[in-house]
Amino acid sequence: MTDLFQFDPNATSNPKNNIFGLPFTEESSLLVILPIPWEVTVSYGAGTSRAADHVFNASMQVDVFDAEMKNSWQKGFYMRPVDKKVLMKSDYLRNEAELYIDYISKGEIVENNSFMCKSLKEINEGSIILNKWVYDQTADLLGRGKLVGLLGGDHSVPFGYFKAIAEKHGDFGILQIDAHCDLRKSYESFMYSHGSVMYNALNEIPQLKKLVQIGTRDYSQEEWDFICNSNYRVITYFDKDLKERQFEGQTWKRITQEIIDHLPDKVYISFDIDGLDPKLCPHTGTPVPGGFETEQVFYLIKNIIQSGRKFIGFDLDEIGVGGDDDLDANVGARVLWKLCNMLVTSNS
């Protein structure tokens, strides 16, 4: 148990402490944040594999007082150090993936090039290893009674955690905040692509009973067909439809209640930062016009908890790196703070 007697939450954050300047160890924390520096399969902008350090630095500017959840932080939030071996593997395979994507973008046949065949095999094997690593880390933490939040990395990283959550909690649902559906099958021939994470989860995790997607505004015919043929296992609230309903007079309160009604008793939140308006995350991997304000998302999650549903875990992904003001990290740190507070509040 951490002695908070000497800790002044109103003082300037001490960077020698952990995330948000809090003086907790992993052992004394209820919630552990696992950074995953992985972006092998990103198909546009890169940099999210190094987001965790930027978010950590930006977190020192976040006030720990929250009028709605005043003392949640006192349960302890701790972020593990970035695993440099995972980052090095990501960098190596990312270089391979860039060459591969450039090759297929020119219409070349992969089977005609032994080097490209080898690269694709290595990338897919690396993603399987990463999934196993994430599963092992999160299953161990859950087994020790910890709450767990993931900090990506691209949106492929939570797949192993989904499996650990399923083993821990049984049947559950995912609320996905995202500009994209991530329902492609083996996108660019990458088995565990960031564009396929929800497809893989639905196909490999039977305990995942419902996927509710919000803010989606960039998707393929393949994904549209998958949603339409899912027998309502996937419910997608496209950004255009949400906006038009509000333009025509419906309140966000009414819409959020409808969204919540689709969710089961246990809810996992998968938050791709590009679900927000790109003015808030300009360096995310694939920014798309439209999206949410942070307050809209926080209001929805607050009402999920107030509905009596249990918030069981989260991932926060695709935070970009760039710009003199590092706005992406600043926004990412504040989203992370809210998610941590809400997860602890729901489990207290």
148 closest CA partner among 168, 129, 171: 168
> Once rounded to an integer, what is the mean pLDDT over residues 31-42?
94
Sequence-ordered list of residues with C-beta below 8 angstroms from that of 72, at least 6 positions apart, any chain = 66, 340, 341, 342, 344, 345, 348
- 158 inside domain: yes
Please check the confidence at residue 209 and state whether its pLDDT lies above 80.
Answer: yes
Q: Pick the range with the lowest mean pLDDT from 9-18, 118-127, 148-157.
A: 9-18
What percent of the chain shows pLDDT beyond 70?
A: 99
| Residue 308, domain extent | 19-346
- 79 inside domain: yes
Strand partners, 77: 31
- 9 inside domain: no
The predicted pLDDT at position 11 comes to 83
> Once rounded to an integer, what is the mean pLDDT over residues 32-59?
91
Sequence-ordered list of residues with C-beta below 8 angstroms from that of 172, at least 6 positions apart, any chain = 165, 166, 207, 208, 209, 264, 266, 267, 268, 312
- 4 inside domain: no
- 2 inside domain: no
> Once rounded to an integer, what is the mean pLDDT over residues 187-200?
90
Please check the confidence at residue 1 and state whether its pLDDT lies above 70.
Answer: no
Q: Pick the range with the lowest mean pLDDT from 115-124, 259-268, 329-338.
A: 115-124
- pLDDT band for position 7 (cuts 50, 70, 90): confident
Q: Pick the range with the lowest mean pLDDT from 36-40, 103-107, 338-342.
A: 103-107
> Once rounded to an integer, what is the mean pLDDT over residues 318-347?
94
Q: How many domains does the chain contain in total?
A: 1
Question: Domain of 305: which CATH number?
Answer: 3.40.800.10
Which pTM does this prediction carry?
0.95
Q: Note the pLDDT tens digit of each residue in 212-271.
A: 999 999 999 999 999 999 999 999 999 999 999 999 999 999 999 999 999 999 999 999
> Once rounded to an integer, what is the mean pLDDT over residues 83-109?
91
| Euclidean distance between CA atoms 218 and 289, whole angstroms | 9
Q: Note the pLDDT tens digit of each residue in 54-63.
A: 999 999 999 9
3-state secondary structure the chain: CCCCCCCCCCCCCCCCCCHHHCCCCCCCCCEEEEEECCCCCCCCCCCHHHHHHHHHHHHCCCCCCCCCCCCHHHHCEEECCCCHHHHHHHHHHHHHHHHHHHHHHCCCCHHHCHHHHHHHHHHHHHHHHHHHHHHHHHHHHHHCCCEEEEEECCCCCCHHHHHHHHHHHCCEEEEEECCECCCCCCHHHCCCCCCCHHHHHHHHCCCEEEEEEEEECECCHHHHHHHHCCCCCEEEEEHHHHHHHHHCCCCHHHHHHHHHHCCCCEEEEEEEHHHECCCCCCCCCCCCCCCECHHHHHHHHHHHHHCCCEEEEEEEECCCCCCCCCHHHHHHHHHHHHHHHHHHHHCC
Q: Note the pLDDT tens digit of each residue in 285-320.
A: 889 999 999 999 999 999 999 999 999 999 999 999
Please check the confidence at residue 189 and state whether its pLDDT lies above 90.
Answer: no
| Euclidean distance between CA atoms 201 and 150, whole angstroms | 16
- 122 inside domain: yes
For 87, other C-beta atoms within 10 Å of its C-beta total 19
- 3 inside domain: no
- 48 inside domain: yes
Please check the confidence at residue 70 and state whether its pLDDT lies above 70.
Answer: yes
120-127: list long-range contacts, CB under 8 Å, 24+ apart.
120/189, 120/190, 122/93, 122/96, 123/40, 123/41, 123/93, 123/96, 123/97, 123/190, 124/190, 124/191, 124/192, 126/40, 126/89, 126/93, 127/40, 127/41, 127/156, 127/190, 127/191, 127/192, 127/193
